[in-house]
Structure 1
Amino acid sequence: MFGLERKSEIINILERAGKVDVNSLAERFGACKETIRRDLRELEKEGVIKRTHGGAVLNVSTSKTAQVEFPVSVREIQRYEEKLVICKRAAAMIADGDTIFVDNSSTTIYLLRYIPKDIHVCIITNSLKLLLEAVQVHNPNLQFICLGGVFKESNMSFSGTIPQRIAKDYYPSKAFLSCASITEQQMLTDSSAAEVDTKRMMIERSQSVIILADYTKFLRMGQIFLADFSSIDSIITDNKTDLSALDYLKKYKTELIVIK
């Protein structure tokens, strides 16, 4: 197991159990104790955990009501496998010649990996992290337009009035975004006031809006209204999502795509 996947699973365990110990993690992952200690040191440095004698605990509450905005370097490894399968399905919705909005969420970062190399796509984004991912993917048929603006290091993204003004000039075929939560109050919420207006502009200008949301997005409440369901065409989620809790979606034309 790679370090990224291992740290992702450590966070998942902490969210479920609240604490971990080095010995059990070493046994679980088939890794030496020093490797686990290094993972815990890195997670502590990123502000996710607090190390304890022989283990670690979460640094903050992760209850349904508490919304903590971790840096994108942390969020991108949370529920890593779920994000990959969601992005793979989302990429299948992209067609040759599409112009698309992609937001600065930690989920959409992985979308580029699955866009076929034989189609031409123009991607408009406020995410520096996505642009760095583009360098790694190296797909010459992808064209990028960076919305610019005020740089926020923790999110590796641009915000403010500049990206909103630039985004307003485009009418993409699709927008791929994520959010903090999808609620029973028939709305999507977010946790970053700095970027929510840019996301709203992406939703307003796009012909089709696709939300990428792992199972935890249905369990929490964000702080800031993003959009109501009437603005959303599709929601893609993983098979850990409790579908029995999503009956309220039947009132809307929003397509729910569950990855089996």
Structure 2
Amino acid sequence: MNGRSAVRLERLREAIRRSGTLPLAEAATLCEVSEMTVRRDIAASNGAIVSFGGHLVMADNPQFAAAYNLDAQKDRYARAKQRLCEAAAAMIEEGDTVFVDCGTTLMPLCALLPREMNVTIVTYALNVANAFSQREMPNMRLVVLGGLYYAASDSFGGQDVTTSIRRLGINKALISAAGVHADKGASCFHFHEVAPKQAAIEHAARRILVADESKLDVMRAAFFADLSDFDTLLTTGDPGRTWRDSMSDSDASNVEVV
């Protein structure tokens, strides 16, 4: 990195810290260079600044974090995710058809259902499908929704996925989220997850949002549902109780903290 690039990066950092985000075009004007030069400077910033939807943000800003690493998420809030899945498993009944969302939040569920349970699991997540396929559950049916594979979330997307969801009679949809905000609703990192989530929410008899305490009061880029679209919201810990208590009585009535 040359000296002029370092000066521009510091100017960008100051501007982003003041406003939270900075449009790429404004960044180029501020630095009196082309947008391509700004992109090169960012590439040399060792990941401190990232380009997200045409805007520059600091990579460590939890409200606008653009990257999701599936492996890095596996051990985050592991105990909270275990409690969430225990609560979710208690809601599943004999004969149910259950939609299980992608990500790592719902992975503990795979080991919690009784071996003899008569249940149909529907998922577009390869990690979830693999985990259930290794269970010796003679009365389980596993429906894996295929399409274009996205390695970032270990899941499939596309019209085939959403069309298949609409054809199924889903009793319960277990939906995960990367961000849950009382006013801005539920959101995720990846836009290809939005359509499957929305299709499951639309067609399921009961919609359950499952999100540990680290997801509360957070907004991610891809909005997919208002909190009122869910019959139940499962979350965890003292932060979950504080968040629930800050809501109106009508909104808080559907929040369960485990």
TM bucket normalised to smaller: 0.7 to 0.9
Cα contact 1:147–1:163 (8 A) shared by 2: yes
| Contact 2:123/2:144 (8 A) holds in 1 | yes
Q: Who is 2:170 aligned against?
A: 172
Q: Which is worse superposed, 220-229 or 92-101?
A: 220-229
State the partner residue of 1:114: 112
Say if 1:249 and 1:194 are closer, same or farther in 2 by CA, change over 3 A: farther
Does 2:224 align with 1:226?
yes
The answer to whether the 8 A contact 1:67-1:222 is kept is: yes
- Percent identical among aligned pairs is 25
For 1:86, the equivalent position in structure 2 comes to 84
Tell me: CA distance 1:124–1:242, structure 2 relative to 1, closer, same or farther (3 Å).
closer
Q: How does 1:41-190 map to 2 (within 5 A)?
A: 61-185=59-183, 187-190=185-188
Which amino acid in 2 is paired with 1:138?
A: E
The change in CA–CA distance for 1:76 and 1:240 in structure 2 (over 3 A counts) is: farther
**AA matched with 1:228:** D
CA contact (8 A) 2:85 2:108 kept: yes
Query: Which consecutive segments of 4 or more residues in structure 1 shift more than 3 A?
Result: 60-64
Q: Aligned equivalents of 1:107 and 1:76: distance in 2? A: 8
> 2: CA distance between counterparts of 1:146 and 1:172?
14
Deviates more, 1:179-188 or 1:156-165: 179-188
In structure 1, how many angstroms separate the alpha carbons of the residues matched to 2:93 and 2:214?
29
Q: CA–CA distance in 2 between the matches of 1:203 and 1:254?
A: 19
The code of the aligned residue for 1:175 comes to A
User: Over residues 50-104 of structure 1, what are the superposed CA-to-partner deviations in whole Å (9 max), with x where a residue is unaligned?
Assistant: xxxxxxxxxx844331223323222222111111111111101000000011111
The offset of 1:242, in angstroms, is 4.2
Q: Tell me if the contact between 1:105 and 1:177 (Cα under 8 Å) persists in the aligned partners.
A: no
Once the 2 structures are TM-superposed, how far is the Cα of residue 190 of structure 1 from its aligned partner?
1.6
- Asked whether the equivalents of residues 96 and 119 of structure 2 are also in contact (C-alpha less than 8 Å), the reply is yes
Paired position in structure 2 for 1:251: 250
Asked if 1 retains the 8 angstrom alpha-carbon contact of 2:97 and 2:121, the reply is yes
Unaligned runs of 5+ in 2: 1-46, 48-57
How far the C-alpha of 1:208 sits from its partner, in A, is 0.4
Question: Which residue, out of 174, 198, 201, partners 2:199?
Answer: 201
Cα distance, 1:187 vs structure 2: 1.4
Counterpart CA distance in 2 for 1:130 and 1:104 is 7
With normalisation by structure 2, the TM-score equals: 0.72
TM-score of the superposed pair, with normalisation by structure 1: 0.72
In the TM superposition, residue 138 of structure 1 has moved relative to its aligned partner by: 2.8
Question: Aligned partners of 1:145 and 1:125: how far apart in 2?
Answer: 6
Q: Would the aligned equivalents of 2:116 and 2:137 in 1 still touch at CA under 8 Å?
A: no
Query: Number of paired residues?
Result: 202
